Amino acid sequence: MDNDLIKQCAAEAQKWLSPAFDAETQAEVKAMLESEDKTALIDAFYQNLEFGTGGLRGIMGAGTNRMNKYIVGMATQGFANYILKAFAGKENISVVVGHDCRNNSRLFAETVADIFSANGIKAYLFESLRPTPEISFAIRQLGAQAGVNITASHNPREYNGYKAYWDDGAQVLAPHDTGIIDEVNKVTIDQVKFTPNNDLIHIIGGEMDVDYLNAVHEALIDQDVINRQKDLCIVYSPLHGTGRVIIPAALRTWGFQNINVVKEQMVIDGNFPTVVSPNPENAEAMTLGMKLGDRLNADLVLASDPDADRLAVVCRDPKGEWCILNGNQTALMLSYYIIENKKKLGQLKGNEFMVKTIVTTETIAEIAKRNNVEIRDVYTGFKWIAREIKLSEGVKKYIGGGEESFGYLPFDKVRDKDSPASICLLCEIAAWAKDNGMTLYDLLMKIYLDYGFAYQSAISVTKPGKSGADEIKQMMEDFRQTPPASLGGSPVVCVKDYKTLKQVANGVESALDMPATSNVLQWFTADGTKISVRPSGTEPKIKFYVEVKGEMACPKCYPAATAEAKAKVDAIKKDLGL
């Protein structure tokens, strides 16, 4: 073990034995210092937990590289300093503070509210846990200048996080993101104002729930079809998180009457005892929901992640067995239904637009184009989708947008992923499908037949530590210097480099029109395959998103088309050395 690194970490740890830190924190740090095994000490103190463009996220515990009330405190003090500069001269500056179900989330949220109030900023603090989209909604509803949500989204139980929002209800973008980071990096623990001004802390709850549920109702498209299928058998799980009250309530306001919850997972518990990981993308997390669905002969099973921004959908295949939709399929189905049924009901006026991220299925773009709806491509992350809504506010009408990572936003009153609204709309889609003698699975097959079959695969390659980071950097550089000539047996005809904002298509170079640069590469082949590659911003991984097109002549052809597509993905992985 590196003795210099141990000395460096020990020196940092000694600072946490001062009276500025509570007795419990000091005891935890002393135990690390006195332990013969210095692994915990190094992990906790070898670096400062970075406040990035999305805020903070890390493992909870004492230390500079951990989520604790002191790191949260310094982040909040820096955020407060920036807000006061950005809105200098404005009276009654306010922020919204929310949190999820995780261990320490309430403590961290109260700490955040205390510090904002101590800096003369009014803090609207939610009375208890609430979904991420409701925090976004409340910022806009209350006319607040910013917001903080304490959540680590769908990460494992040992994590917590801190999401920073601006006055439009979206996570911060330039120039505010880097401005906030600069202010946070200046703060030392002795500068944090922990003593609250209780006159500036205002508790909110039920009244905002009502306003938010009314807003979610605006995403409804066809009330008549819900009225006809009000007994649609729905199973829902919040995975111990914030959707537990809001989502069943939202479904009832839409008119659904047969709503069944997974009782074991309705219990608020930051340890997530019924799942390995509280991530609805993982099939394991849906097990209890599917078991209840079997007992009830349910039409569909749905779940939201702990902060209720992401969602997962399970429907029945022709054999009656459960089929878990991936994020691309869910976004595809939502986009298709919004366009098709708004069109049939005369709700499209010609000024509508949709948004998807560049790594999300191109079939959404095909649906939009065929129906004369503008489609926009943005970088990964809902802050970029929110930016497009803001840019066109009052000029064009946003009607939906999403990304492959199980997030969708079907209306414009929120500026982040919204599982309550998306789940309600998915149940409307299931009702509409049933009204037309179909299941959600049948509808997915219809979309493939009408607009073309495509298969998506996400591949993550983990490269831990500094050597791993260097390796990922070198991989991206090698791909830039020597892009593949062909992939999966088809020649590469277009290369897009979002770091240089240039593309080369059939030998002709042109500029990419994007609001910022990003370390992303894309390759498009002659047979319609799209491969995107980017380093993860939060984990030691390099990610590859592959979409291949195939032939599917009938619904029964789906398994064969999928098998053929998987074989092509395997060939592409081999070509890329994965």
Q: What is the pLDDT of residues 254-299, one digit of tens each?
A: 999 999 999 999 999 999 999 999 998 889 999 999 999 999 999 9
Looking at the structure, do residues 60 and 197 belong to the same domain, yes or no? yes
Rounded CA gap, 69 and 245, in Å?
28
Rounded CA gap, 20 and 30, in Å?
15
Q: In the structure, what pLDDT confidence band is assigned to residue 340 with cuts at 50, 70 and 90? A: very high
Looking at the structure, do residues 89 and 104 belong to the same domain, yes or no? yes
For residue 323, give the nearest of 450, 243, 439, 455 by alpha carbon: 439
Looking at the structure, do residues 262 and 397 belong to the same domain, yes or no? yes
Residue 1: the pLDDT is 62
Work out the percent of the chain whose per-residue pLDDT is above 70.
99
Vertex 340, ends 337 and 341: CA angle to 5°? 75
Looking at the structure, do residues 421 and 529 belong to the same domain, yes or no? no
Looking at the structure, do residues 445 and 465 belong to the same domain, yes or no? no
Rounded CA gap, 118 and 198, in Å?
9
Cis upstream peptide for 175 (omega within 30°): yes
In a domain, 36, yes or no: no
Looking at the structure, do residues 91 and 60 belong to the same domain, yes or no? yes
Beta bridge partners of 538: none
Q: Virtual CA dihedral for 465, 466, 471, 477, nearest 10 degrees?
A: 140
Q: Which two tokens stand for residue 54?
A: 């999305």
For residue 571, give the nearest of 536, 540, 525 by alpha carbon: 525
Task: Check residue 37 and give left, alpha or beta (phi > 0: left; psi -120 to 50: alpha).
Answer: beta
Residue 102: the pLDDT is 97
Rounded CA gap, 252 and 248, in Å?
6
Looking at the structure, do residues 462 and 435 belong to the same domain, yes or no? no
Give the start-end residues of each E strand in 429-540: 453-462, 486-487, 490-497, 502-505, 508-511, 521-525, 530-535
Mean pLDDT of the region 349-354: 96
Residue whose tokens read 């590859």: 544
For residue 249, give the nearest of 281, 189, 297, 208 by alpha carbon: 208
Rounded CA gap, 465 and 41, in Å?
16
Q: What is the CATH number of the domain that holds 134?
A: 3.40.120.10
- Residue 484: CB atoms within 10 Å: 17
Q: Kindly report the backbone phi and psi dihedral angles of residue 390, in degrees, each rounded to the nearest multiple of 5, phi listed first.
A: -65, -40
- Residues classed as catalytic: 153
Residue 50: the pLDDT is 86
Close Cβ partners of 479 (under 8 Å, ≥ 6 residues apart): 521, 533
In a domain, 8, yes or no: no
Inform me whether the pLDDT recorded for 83 exceeds 80. yes
Distinct helix (H) and strand (E) counts, the chain = 18, 23
In a domain, 22, yes or no: no
In a domain, 322, yes or no: yes
Looking at the structure, do residues 279 and 348 belong to the same domain, yes or no? yes
Mean pLDDT of the region 302-320: 96
Terminal CA-to-CA distance of the chain, rounded, Å? Answer: 31
End-of-domain residue from the set 187, 204, 221:
204
Into how many domains does the chain fold?
Answer: 3
Rounded CA gap, 62 and 25, in Å?
6
Quick check: helix, strand or coil at residue 325? coil
Looking at the structure, do residues 232 and 368 belong to the same domain, yes or no? yes
Looking at the structure, do residues 198 and 217 belong to the same domain, yes or no? no
β pairing state of 397-403 and 94-99: unpaired
Residue 94: the pLDDT is 98
CB 125 within 8 A of CB 203: yes
Looking at the structure, do residues 193 and 240 belong to the same domain, yes or no? no
Q: How many CA atoms lie within 13 A of 387 on its CB side?
A: 19
Tens digits of per-residue pLDDT, 144-172?
A: 999 999 999 988 999 999 999 999 999 99
Inform me whether the pLDDT recorded for 466 exceeds 80. no
Q: Which two tokens stand for residue 205?
A: 């709850």
Quick check: helix, strand or coil at residue 306? coil
Mean pLDDT of the region 117-121: 98
Q: In the structure, what pLDDT confidence band is assigned to residue 174 with cuts at 50, 70 and 90? A: confident
Q: Virtual CA dihedral for 177, 187, 35, 108, nearest 10 degrees?
A: -60
Rounded CA gap, 277 and 296, in Å?
25
Beta bridge partners of 522: 496, 532
Burial class (CB in 10 A: 0-12, 13-18, 19+), 214: exposed
DSSP letter, residue 18: S
Rounded CA gap, 446 and 452, in Å?
9
Quick check: helix, strand or coil at residue 100? coil
Q: Which domain holds residue 322?
A: 213-451
Residue 426: the pLDDT is 98
In a domain, 274, yes or no: yes
CA gyration radius, the chain: 24
CB 486 within 8 A of CB 525: yes
Inform me whether the pLDDT recorded for 52 exceeds 70. yes
Q: What is the DSSP track for 517-545?
A: --S-EEEEETTS-EEEEEE-SSSSEEEEE
Q: Which two tokens stand for residue 110?
A: 């109260």
Mean pLDDT of the region 24-29: 96
End-of-domain residue from the set 176, 204, 232:
204
- Residue 497: CB atoms within 10 Å: 19
Sheet holding 55-59, edge to edge: 55-59, 159-166, 146-150, 94-99, 122-126, 201-204
Tens digits of per-residue pLDDT, 243-257?
A: 999 999 999 999 999
In a domain, 369, yes or no: yes
End-of-domain residue from the set 451, 477, 509:
451
In a domain, 30, yes or no: no
Inform me whether the pLDDT recorded for 379 exceeds 90. yes
Looking at the structure, do residues 238 and 265 belong to the same domain, yes or no? yes
In a domain, 435, yes or no: yes
Residue 326: the pLDDT is 95
Residue 539: the pLDDT is 66
Query: H-helix or E-strand containing 514?
Result: none
Rounded CA gap, 296 and 283, in Å?
20
CB 56 within 8 A of CB 72: yes
Mean pLDDT of the region 439-463: 95
The average confidence (pLDDT) of the chain is: 95
State the greatest distance between any 2 C-alpha atoms of the chain, in Å, as a whole number.
72
Inform me whether the pLDDT recorded for 212 exceeds 80. yes
Residue 510, amino acid: S
Q: In the structure, what pLDDT confidence band is assigned to residue 53 with cuts at 50, 70 and 90? A: confident
Rounded CA gap, 17 and 40, in Å?
16
Q: What is the CATH number of the domain that holds 502?
A: 3.30.310
